[in-house]
Structure 1
Amino acid sequence: MEIFKGQNLLAFAEHFKTELDCEKYLAHWKWEKGYSCRKCGHTKYQVRKDFSRTCNVCSDTESPSSGTLFHRVKFGLRKAFFICFEMSTTTKDLSALQMSVRYGVAENTARLFMHKVREAMRSDEKDGMQGLVQIDEFTVGGKEENKQGRSYDAKKKKVVCAVELTEQGKVKRFYALKIEDFSSRSLRTIFDKHIDKSAQVVTDDWRGYRPIRDFNITQTKSNKGKNFPVLHTMIHQVKSWLRTTYSWVSAANINRYLSEFCFRINRSQSKQTIFNNLIKRMVNRNPVSQADLICS
């Protein structure tokens, strides 16, 4: 089967002309390692016209989208593929309102599906950052007059982020997570999820990092961000992206948006295969109910 590569929208439209093209593509990734009946475990099957598999023993029929994040998509698999393509390859991103207009679906339906895509974009937390890693925190939700440094405003969303740098001082990987406060307990979250114990971690002189003693941490003055230029550039980019694309994001959903941003940043050197990467993640993640996606 020909695997789609690249970022060309016309080439993408040519590759996926029909619903069956998408069903075939999805079936390829779903059963890439072989088929096993979800009910009886038998491995022999028949392929249907829509690329579903029917077990030769118990006759259970399983569609390519069943058990994936494409399960019961309301507006067709082809539109869903186009939304995945745009969310994985664009640099500016599109809001749910824009997606609804482009693909002729209800805005709320587009929003819920986009949250499913963001769930697939979430890191599996298996490969921790190594080498030189810089960490800092920032807030989302407006700017306070005459205020520098950390904000303790309860209305603002607090985020901790980490960047892994190459030997040339460029971004290799970036992760960001919502935290409840700037305490050691909250800051530790990003260490446990995304940083290898072998990493050389550099932070500013905030006292919240001092109790985290099982990691190799060096603290230095921030000098208003001048000592962390790459990290602060990343912070500026993610805040600008959130502000210009969505205007406002809820505390319940901000981690999903951060996952989307990090997914694209961390694959900026593999744009040719980023769509395939996302489709495989959509296949391997369990379905998410609407109740799980609807947040305040």
Structure 2
Amino acid sequence: MGINVVQFQKGLSMNQFIERYGTEAKCYRALYRWRWPQGFRCPQCDGRARSRFRRGETVYYQCRGCRHQTTLISGTLLQGSRLPLTQWFQAMYLLSSTKTNLSALELKRHLGVNYKSAWRLKHKIMQAMVEREESRKLNGFVQIDDAYLGGERNGGKPGRGSENKQPFLIAVQTDEQLEHPTFAVIEPVKAFDDAALKDWIARRLAPECEVYSDGLACFRRLEDAGHAHTTLVTGGGRAATEAAGARWVNVVLANVKRAISGVYHAVRQAKYARRYLAEAAWRFNRRFDLRSLLPRLATALVRCKPCPEPILRAASNFHG
């Protein structure tokens, strides 16, 4: 059996990371290139000419056309942060290079910051992952399954009716032979009902997808939306998870659940499930080039709008 070239590819080693991004100046230059790859652009008028000056330790850029003043992190998810760029880069490296997950508590210990700062860092980075994954649509052959995050509370409702469980859908795009997964969408839904499925299908599946799923009643909406739909009758046990048309969605689902339950002592599913699931999807969908993960994540951070802590904490799992 040959080596899986995706799993065994070389990523960015710790030594390489320190060599490239070990100082504040190196981080600043890299972030500048990723935010303005064609050179400075005024966020107000898109002008290119600018002057540069300092106020204290902060470098400002003033557009010569409209005289708008900005900084490297203004208008981005890093806006308002007092942490040095080296700690942001360390957090991005740790969260993108780990194969599973990294809790805010562990991030706190790695970076030497307090827990609140580590929590904000982690959730802002996960928010960037959410926004990058929001527009993804799957094509061709797609395997879909329903699942839950969370478990039963003491004294609460058992099973699917538990107040501590967040339903979500996981879908994995494969090649035509159903032998290799390519991309995944992992997203919370309000319920496994017709309304939620119609909305999800419209946003997440390209026209004419061929879809494989189990016999959950709401998956009939796939046919109403014009998709070829194969309902798999697999029974139970391990054989059901390895059936053609269901294997890869079950493999990815098992990895996601193991990564979340094995790292986090508690996740507030009702508010933050979208971020934790998007974190898993973001890494899975970019696993083909591990060396590019940090630049792509940093680019996402500088392209996303600011998200102050009140907005960060007032999260919702759902659109609208």
Structure 2 match to 1:75: 83
2:256 corresponds to which of 202, 225, 238: 238
Q: Which runs of 5+ in 2 are unaligned?
A: 1-9, 154-158, 316-320
Structure 1 match to 2:214: 204
Q: CA RMSD in A?
A: 2.3
Deviation at 1:270, TM superposition (A): 1.3
Structure 1 CA distance, aligned partners of 2:249 and 2:45?
A: 51
Structure 1 CA distance, aligned partners of 2:94 and 2:65?
A: 40
- When the two structures are aligned, how many residues end up with a matched partner? 287
Structure 2 match to 1:161: 170
Structure 2 CA distance, aligned partners of 1:41 and 1:280?
A: 18
Alignment of 1:32-71 (within 5 A): 32-39=37-44, 41-47=46-52, 52-57=60-65, 59-71=67-79
Distance change (3 Å), C-alpha of 1:129 and 1:188: same
Structure 2 match to 1:277: 296
Compute the TM-score of the two structures, normalised by the length of structure 1: 0.89
What is the SS of the residue equivalent to 2:188?
A: strand
Instruction: Tell me the percent identity.
Output: 24
Structure 2 match to 1:252: 271
Q: Which amino acid in 2 is paired with 1:215?
A: G
Structure 2 match to 1:28: 33
Higher mean displacement: 182-191 or 83-92: 182-191
Compute the TM-score of the two structures, normalised by the length of structure 2: 0.82
Structure 2 CA distance, aligned partners of 1:247 and 1:205?
A: 33
Distance change (3 Å), C-alpha of 1:187 and 1:248: farther
Structure 2 CA distance, aligned partners of 1:93 and 1:205?
A: 32
For the 8 Å contact 2:141–2:209, the answer to whether it is kept is yes
The runs of 4+ residues in structure 1 deviating greater than 4 Å are 47-52
Structure 2 CA distance, aligned partners of 1:199 and 1:190?
A: 14
What is the SS of the residue equivalent to 1:86?
A: helix
Alignment of 1:1-296 (within 5 A): 6-39=11-44, 41-47=46-52, 52-57=60-65, 59-122=67-130, 123-142=132-151, 151-168=160-177, 169-212=179-222, 213-216=224-227, 217-224=229-236, 225-226=240-241, 227=243, 228-250=246-268, 251-295=270-314
Distance change (3 Å), C-alpha of 1:125 and 1:295: closer
Q: Which runs of 5+ in 1 are unaligned?
A: 145-149
Structure 2 CA distance, aligned partners of 1:247 and 1:222?
A: 33
